């Protein structure tokens, strides 16, 4: 038996926001993750981009996050295009602004360069979870090391 527990929508949600509503009604909001690619356009202001971060939409990230929550998204995957790939740390102000605007889990993505970055975005950014890639792909850290670091920082984690 094949299947999926969750589906992530990004460009398709921007093109047809009602897709989020119909999908969450059909499958339950716990299955619907809306991915948001955010780019800073001014201090404290971010815009939604689509097509892997190539296309500007003119949509404010905070308003979009709230709308997607209203339409039935069960989770948001928030990627800072400014921080992604830099390994210089997550965009804490962006993450905090989105997390504080919605009452659903937000996964922070983009910028992890060391294990303290993970704890920083969870504590200071109010993220529910973190996504990290480069620190694992390049062998800098193992997933086990990351989990142990979070646990030693007093954050809940499954080892």
Q: Return the pLDDT at 153.
A: 97
Angle between the 115-123 and 143-152 helix axes, to the nearest 10 degrees?
Answer: 50
pLDDT digits (tens, 9 = 90+) for 43-99: 999 999 999 889 999 999 999 999 999 999 999 999 999 999 999 999 999 999 999
Query: Does pLDDT of 23 surpass 90?
Result: yes
Across the chain, the runs of DSSP E, i.e. the strands, are: 7-9, 32-42, 45-50, 55-60, 75-80, 106-109, 129-131
Query: What's the whole-number mean pLDDT along residues 40-44?
Result: 96
Q: Return the pLDDT at 113.
A: 97
Query: Does pLDDT of 2 surpass 90?
Result: no
Structure confidence at residue 1 as a pLDDT band (50, 70, 90): low
Spatial CA neighbour of 122 closest among 106, 143, 138, 101: 106
The CA distances from residue 29 to 7, 47, 119, in Å, are: 10, 24, 27
Higher pLDDT, 137 or 1: 137
| Mean of per-residue pLDDT scores for the chain | 96
The CA distances from residue 51 to 43, 96, 147, in Å, are: 24, 24, 32
Spatial CA neighbour of 108 closest among 92, 100, 155, 116: 92
**Which runs of consecutive H residues, i.e. helices, occur in 76-129?**
92-101, 115-123
Q: Return the pLDDT at 63.
A: 99
Using the 8-state DSSP alphabet, how is residue 30 labeled?
G
Q: Return the pLDDT at 5.
A: 92
For the whole model, what pTM was predicted?
0.95
Domains of the chain: 7-152 (3.20.20.70)
């Amino acid at each position: 038996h094949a299947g999926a527990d969750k589906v992530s929508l990004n460009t398709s949600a921007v093109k047809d926001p009602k897709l989020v509503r119909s999908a969450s009604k059909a499958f339950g909001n716990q299955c619907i993750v809306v991915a948001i690619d955010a780019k800073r356009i001014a201090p404290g202001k971010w815009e939604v981009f689509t097509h892997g971060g190539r296309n500007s939409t003119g949509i404010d990230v905070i308003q979009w996050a709230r709308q997607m929550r209203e339409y039935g998204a069960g989770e948001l995957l928030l990627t800072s295009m400014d921080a992604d790939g830099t390994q210089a740390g997550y965009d804490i102000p962006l993450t905090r602004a989105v997390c504080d605007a919605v009452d659903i889990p937000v996964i922070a993505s983009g910028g992890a360069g060391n294990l303290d970055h993970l704890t920083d975005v969870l504590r200071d950014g109010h993220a529910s979870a973190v996504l990290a890639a480069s620190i694992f792909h390049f062998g800098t850290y193992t997933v086990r090391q990351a989990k142990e670091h979070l646990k030693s920082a007093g954050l809940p984690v499954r080892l």
